Amino acid sequence: MLKTYKYSLLILVIICYLSLKSSSGFTKANIFSFAHMDKIVHFCMYFGFMSVIIFETFIIGKKRYSLLALSAIPFFCGIAMEILQGLLTTTRSADIYDAIFNTLGILLAVALWLIIKSTYGKRFKW
């Protein structure tokens, strides 16, 4: 199982590191500095995380898992990261809006997968 989900696990480790690292360690790039930029980052991280889980499950593993069950993994990881930020870090705090944008990224990945599967599903054997 670890071999099948090696990229998902790598992304999870990166998300954990970035989520729990002191925010003072990040330098702001002026080109990307605007209000609520962190929400876009949360959205993209969890969109990518869910997309890789889907890819590894349905493309590489060819297993038939429920998308709802699969999406629970990044969802609960995102909730846990928000709680841990509030408990373990001094420069970060738990934010409900971060969790919402995490969830929106997950939902978009699932929606795109369903569209791709319904459009191109007959070309591939999944």
- In sign, the C-alpha dihedral spanning 106, 109, 110, 112 is positive
Q: What is the pLDDT of residues 45-75, one digit of tens each?
A: 999 999 999 999 887 766 677 888 999 999 9
Nearest to 116 by CA among 62, 38, 46, 59: 59
Domain that residue 81 falls in: 38-118
The two three-digit tokens of residue 27, written as one number: 């330098």
In a domain, 27, yes or no: no
In a domain, 60, yes or no: yes
**3 and 60 Cβ atoms separated by less than 8 Å:** no
Residue 28 — pLDDT band, cuts 50, 70, 90?
A: low
Alpha-carbon span 30 to 14, nearest angstrom: 23
In a domain, 29, yes or no: no
